[in-house]
Every structure is written in C-alpha cells, then in structure tokens.
Structure 1
Amino acid sequence: MIEFLADNTATVVAFLVGLTIVVFVHEMGHFWVARRNGVRVEVFSIGFGPELFGFNDRHGTRWKFAAVPLGGYVKMFGDEDASSKPDAEAAEEMSDEDKAVAFPFKSLGQKAAIVFAGPAANFIFAVIVYAFVFMSFGQPATPPVIGSVVSGSAAAEAGIQAGDRILAIDGEPIERYEEVQAVALLVDGTPLDIRFERGGIERTITVTPTRLETIDDQGTVRDGYTLGVNPPYPTLIHTISPDSPAERAGLEPEDRIVAAQGVPVQVFADFREVLEGFDPAQGPLRLTIERGDQRFERTLDPVIETYDENGPTESVARIGVTFSLGDRTHIAYGPFEAAWRGVGETVRVVEHTFTALGQMIAGDRGTEDLGGPIRIAQFFGQAAEAGVVTFLLSIALLSVNLGLINLFPIPVLDGGHLLMYGIEAVMGRPLGEAAQEISFRIGLAVVLGLMVFATWNDIVQLVGG
C-alpha cells in the first residue's frame, strides 16, 4: 500500500479531488435541505478524524477538512446517536427554542427529505456534469462497427463478422459502439436478437452469450458471460510510456502496427490476441511497423506481468503503448438535448449497476468488479491522464454510484434511515431503541464487511500486478 502511494502520487491526487467533489455535493444536499427546514447544522466536514483546518460561518456552522479524506458528514443539532434521536434526558433539557432547530424534533416528512437530499444531490450533479460535457465537448461516439470477433465465441458461432454494423440489440437502436460495449458488459446467458448491416443488407440473428474467463487491459481476471466482439480501434500508437520496451525499440506515436509475429493485425483486438499468446522463450516480439509511407521491422522484449486471483496463473505481455480510438468523434448537443441525454446517462448507470449486482448475487458474474479505494484511485488516475473530459465523466459516474449506494436500505446509510422512517410511518411510532440499536449494529457490520471485501479485491489485484 505504501509503495502504491509513493509511486502513484498523481493518481492519489486525482482520486482525492474527485472524491472530495462528490462527497461535498452529497453533504451539501443534506445541508441545504436541513437549513431550509429550520435545522441548525453544527458541523460540515470533508473527511473524518482530527480537524486540519476550518472556519465558522455566521450561522454557527463549523466548516472543516479532517485528516482522513475518505468521506464526510453533516452533524445536525440534536442528532446525537445512530438513531438520530436524543436520549430522554437530553430531550427534557431542551428548551422549546432548541427543539425548533433540532433534527429529531422535525416532522417525519422533513427528516426524510433531509436524508434523501444527499443522494438526490449526487444524481442531480451527475446530470449537470453529463449535460455540460455533452454540450461543451460532445458525447463520445465510435461507429457501431465490429472490429473483430473472438474465435469460438458466441458472436462467431452466430455468424457475426468483422465489419458488421450493429443497428439494434433486442429492439433497442444502436447509434454508437459505446452502446454495444454497455450491453456487452452486462450480458448473461439470455439470448439477444442483434440486427446488423452487412454489404448494404440488413440481417437479424440471435446470439446466446457464453461464459468465459478473460483478463482486461488492467490485468483483472474477469469471470462472466461475453458476446466475443471487439471495437474497431486501430493499431495506431497514441502514446508511449517512458523507458518502455516500445520506446527502447524506437517506436513513435502515430506508428501503425500492421503485423506481429508475422501475423497481420488490423485492429487492437488482433494485436492483443498475439500478445496473449506470446512466449518469451521463443525469442523477442517481432513487429512490422508502418510510419508514413515507410514499412520496417522492429523486435522488442515485452514486459511479462502475471496475475493469480485465486485461480490459474495468467501472463500478459505489455510493450508500453496506448492505441488511438480511431474514428471516435464527439457529438455536441444543444442545452435541452444535452440535459435530456444527461438524465438518460444517469439512469443508464443506475440500471447497469443494479443489473451487475443482480448478476453477482445470482452467480452469473464474478465479484472482481467490487473495488475499494485503491481501485477507485487507479480509475481516477487513468481518467485524469486521459484528459479533462474523461475525468469529468468519471466524477459524474462516481457521483451516481455514491448516491445509489447511500440509498441501499442498510442502517447507517441514508437508505437505512429512510427505511426506518417508512416503518415509523406505517406503525405510527418509531421502532424501539433496542431494535434500532441492533439494526444499526448489523448495518455497520454489513458496510464494514463490504469495505473489507472490496479492499481485499484491490490488494489482490495490486499484488498480482
């Protein structure tokens, strides 16, 4: 962990900036609605633990940054324990004036609104960020054309070919390859009707995804269903890492790899397939490079990285380059269209998150996608490196997920409080203090257990890589 922090300062900074923004938005939702309902807010904290610095506003709220920047909280007057209800002695000592500004003495509807405001703020913020990006920079759009098909995959068995243009999946129109990727990420064993165009002729076939263990570009071993199609990204080098095998071999940005080990490669997936089968015992990697109107050969020794996530050891060869996204463009929209698409993107993230969780519970998807702070930090580091647009989209994605997670009906989370208020509305009285205490202890255990599990996933990936 210490080595990770030392070697990834920019990644950690990007993570803390992104997390601080979405936590601030979440807590500001609670704060704003609490103040509108006459609740006195005592503390607005970004982070936990000892205060690093802060100030008091004219209403008496202490705004501060704390030492552990992995979250935040708003402390409201009278909110002294896990059940948001003061003990009998504290209630007796409160004056009518104090009760008027104390959170526990507000109506059930007011308390529910204050609690729900945090997740709601995250969703609204995500819509705004998506809309801003789609209006100012444009929505990423890659032609929905199949770059390559994995041999023996569900798509290959069904007759999908490289160059096919996807028109619709299960009746839903497809305009961008990014939409194909979104579907592919969440497939299970359910057959899909795919309408596509080949040679000017439209066809429809049924593809039944098959289960397969794969390794993604970050080295994470994934176990789940797949279609077996790859995007039309070319083998055009975009960036080269310093002191990498590619740099030592004299490769340059804008070079195009046209063959590897004597095998022609047209898209990135073709090249990745060669790398997956590379054996250093058989000698260096042989590449045919096209630079302008020149074509020449280069040999290099890839870095071999191994991964073992409680399963067979897998090896991945890396040469230290990233590839161009080819014909990807950005479609800019007007304010209303951008806002509508921002809403749609937020809803899509929510739907996909629920689908993925359901698949994990059903056993149709591995749990390796459950990442903790290290994985999120890596995600933000890569997003920041990719540019401002990707970083903004990553912040919006995290904001949606933070809002959604907080709505889970687990005591200690906002959703748990809302569940308690719902029970109180039905019963006409709150649960007894003992029942509330037990439920909050169980909820805390569940949350801590999930955090430990997600962090363990992070550590396994980090050590494996």
Structure 2
Amino acid sequence: MDWITSFGANAASYILPFLFVLGIIIFVHEMGHFLVARWCGVAVDAFSIGFGPELLGWVDRHGTRWKLSAIPLGGYVKFAGDENAASVPDRAVLAAMNEEERRTSFFLKPLWQRAAIVAAGPVANFILAIAIFSIFFMISGRPVADAVVSAVEPDSPAAAAGFEPGDVIVAIDGDKVRSFSTVQRTVASAAGSPLTFTVERGGERLELVATPELRELTDPFGNPYSSGVLGVRREVGAEGIPRERLGPIGAIGAGAAETWYITTRTVDVVTGIFSGTQSASQLGGPIRVAQLSGEVAGLGIAALFSLAAMLSVSIGLINLLPVPMLDGGHLLFYLIEGVRGRPLSERAQDVGFRIGLALVLLLMGFATFNDIVHLTS
C-alpha cells in the first residue's frame, strides 16, 4: 500500500488547494441559483457549501441559513418546500402552505422562472470561467507565437502529408491560424478526421492534407489523456512564447472563446468515451482533483485559478446532463412539462430521481475507482 503512504504524506499539500478550487466553483454555482431565485421572489431556507453536519453558519435578515458543512464535495440552495438538497418537492409541506408561503414557493412559480433558477447554476460556472480567462488575457496576454514548424516527427501524419521544417501554417480547413496553439487545439480534437493545412514554404502557398492520429499521452503531472497528434513541433527560444495583452472587450471575447473551446473539447472527450474512441480512464474523481490541485498550486496562484476555470466548465457541463438529481434532469422535467402542459406525475418524478441518484453514485464510484488505479499504477 505504498500509494496510501505516498498520498497520505502529501495530503496536507493537496487538501488546501483542493478546498480553495472547489470552494470557489461551488460558491459561484450555488450563488447563481440563489440570485435568480431571489430575483424571482422565491424564499430560500438555506445556502450551504458542503453537505452533512453544519460546521458553522448564520441566518440573514431574509431568513436564509448560510452555512459551511462537513463534506466539501458539493453544495446546495434549499428553497421553501424542498424535501432535500436535490430540490425534490416535499408534497406535505407544499399542501400545508398558506397563501403568503405559496407566493414564495419555488415549485409554485411559473415554469420559465423555475427553469431560469435551475439553469442559473451551470450558467454561473461558465461566467466564472470567462471572467478568470478574461483577467488573465488582460494581465498576462494570450500566446501569439507564429505557427512555424521547427521539426517533423518521422512516421507521423505530418511526415506522410509532406510537412517540412520551416513551413508556416497559415490556415486549417480555410480558417485562419492565429498561433501555434491554434494548430495544437484543432489537431487535438480531430483525430481520425482529414484536415487541409495551408502552409507557406519558400514564398509559395501549398495545401497539405493530414489526418491526426489518436495517441495516449500524459500531462506534466503524469495524468493520462487521449489526444489527436499531427507530429510537428515548434521550438521555443530563451525569450519564451510571445504574448499579447488584450483590452477589456477583447479579453472578454477571448475568454468566451477559451471557455467555448474547453466546453467543446470536454464534450468531445465524453462522447468519445461513450463511443469507445476515448479511454474511460480519463474520468477522474475527487482524489485525482485533489492531487492535481496540489500539484498545480506549486506552479502559483495563477495556475490554480486557471485550473478552477477549467473545472468550473466541467462542473457546469456535468450539471447540465439530463439526469434527474442534476440541474439538467430538472430542466428535462420542465421541458416535458412545457410540451405536455402539465408536470409529470409524482410517481414518475420519484422514479426519475431514484434512477438519477443511482447513476450519479455509479459515476462517482467509477471515477473514484479510476483515481485509485491511477495512484497505484
């Protein structure tokens, strides 16, 4: 059990960065639900960071209990009439409400308000990511290194397509290439798909067709992942990668584009796992997130915030999955209600929530199993 000893010895350096990153993401997600609920006139009984026993808390002037709970793997906003933290309605409480209480009950609000309150959590996660990336682009700038090919890997898709050192990639499938990172990102999500590269060579423009291949790689911290690979490299000089600082408007646009890229890349990986083109070992749970948080924290606070932005996108996407117990499951129920003109029966909703709970627990169990396999390998 050397992995237990190793993980335990480093646990202190993992826990604080992990709680910092997760705390920001959870707070912003739940604040999204809270703010839109208050805007819609919904009474909020509790706002909790974490689950389980309360560690500390206070009640504000509106009667909301703000609290920090013992299990820091999530959070919740509990509305008046909720049976539990998953916003399952308490039918008995709803039936016993007086007229004033009914006016502030989440479950008795118009359909569009309920949908807006539920969607606000994931939307807040995406806004957080855009805000973090925008600040980075204003302070540190974005990479603008020309897409110059310094070396071509033998027996690679690039070599087969005819790439040569010194080639400058100016477009991919007709889309202008801004920097070498654009090439890397386009190739990463295009394994098995032919791409047409427009390159400049000796004052002339050529078109080369290459099909990136899927490879199993590891990140700088030893975590495995699958990615499309072309087989070209760009050498970085002693001065490092050139960067361009952006103004507020440009930074917000670039931050939104960065968030969109992470969103589409995450969707590609998840769909690839279900289709069998991506390895399910990439799914990580709380242990791996804690370990990664500790490792990234060693690179500085900027890197930790960058990790928070990427994880915020992932958590926003996960919550939008059409699984009961998650925000996406509630939105699915509301969509059905809108089409039918009435909600699903209580029994159908109860069955849905039970199935959703089983799926969520199964996913958490599988991710934790992957974490342990990763630690022991």
| Fold match by TM threshold 0.5 | yes
Give the whole-Å Cα distance in 2 for the aligned partners of 1:382 and 1:177: 26
Give the whole-Å Cα distance in 2 for the aligned partners of 1:331 and 1:140: 6
- Which of residues 26, 33, 37 is equivalent to 1:30? 33
Bigger drift between 414-423 and 156-165 goes to 156-165
Aligned-pair CA distance for 1:223: 5.2
Percent identity, aligned pairs only, is 46
- Which of residues 405, 408, 420 is equivalent to 2:318? 405
Aligned-pair CA distance for 1:421: 0.7
Higher helix share: 2
Q: CA offsets, 1:22-52, max 9 Å, x none?
A: 1100000000111111111111111111111
Where does 1:4-403 land on structure 2 (aligned, <5 Å)? 4-81=7-84, 84-87=88-91, 89-222=92-225, 225-233=228-236, 327-403=240-316
Aligned-pair CA distance for 1:221: 4.7
Give the whole-Å Cα distance in 1 for the aligned partners of 2:259 and 2:347: 38
Give the whole-Å Cα distance in 1 for the aligned partners of 2:79 and 2:270: 33
Aligned-pair CA distance for 1:83: 6.3
Give the whole-Å Cα distance in 2 for the aligned partners of 1:92 and 1:80: 13
Relative to 1, partners in 2 of residues 1:167 and 1:44: Cα closer, same or farther, differing over 3 Å? same
Note if 1:460 corresponds to 2:370. no
Corresponding residue SS for 1:409: coil
1:416 counterpart letter in structure 2: G
- Which of residues 356, 359, 363 is equivalent to 1:446? 359
Residue number in structure 2 paired with 1:241? none
Bigger drift between 345-354 and 370-379 goes to 370-379
Higher strand share: 1
Contact 2:153 2:159 (8 Å CA) reproduced:
yes
Aligned-pair CA distance for 1:213: 4.1
Contact 2:221 2:292 (8 Å CA) reproduced:
no
Relative to 1, partners in 2 of residues 1:142 and 1:50: Cα closer, same or farther, differing over 3 Å? farther
Contact 1:188 1:364 (8 Å CA) reproduced:
no
Relative to 1, partners in 2 of residues 1:413 and 1:10: Cα closer, same or farther, differing over 3 Å? same
Bigger drift between 398-407 and 383-392 goes to 383-392
2:97 counterpart letter in structure 1: M
Number of aligned residue pairs: 373
Contact 1:220 1:368 (8 Å CA) reproduced:
no
1:433 counterpart letter in structure 2: E
Give the whole-Å Cα distance in 1 for the aligned partners of 2:358 and 2:103: 34
Contact 1:145 1:163 (8 Å CA) reproduced:
yes
Aligned-pair CA distance for 1:389: 2.9
Bigger drift between 77-86 and 111-120 goes to 77-86
Give the whole-Å Cα distance in 1 for the aligned partners of 2:220 and 2:302: 21
CA RMSD of aligned residues (A): 2.1
Give the whole-Å Cα distance in 1 for the aligned partners of 2:308 and 2:342: 40
Aligned-pair CA distance for 1:222: 4.7
Residue number in structure 1 paired with 2:344? 431
Corresponding residue SS for 1:75: strand
Corresponding residue SS for 2:206: strand
Structure 1 unaligned residues grouped into runs of 5+: 237-325
Give the whole-Å Cα distance in 1 for the aligned partners of 2:251 and 2:263: 18
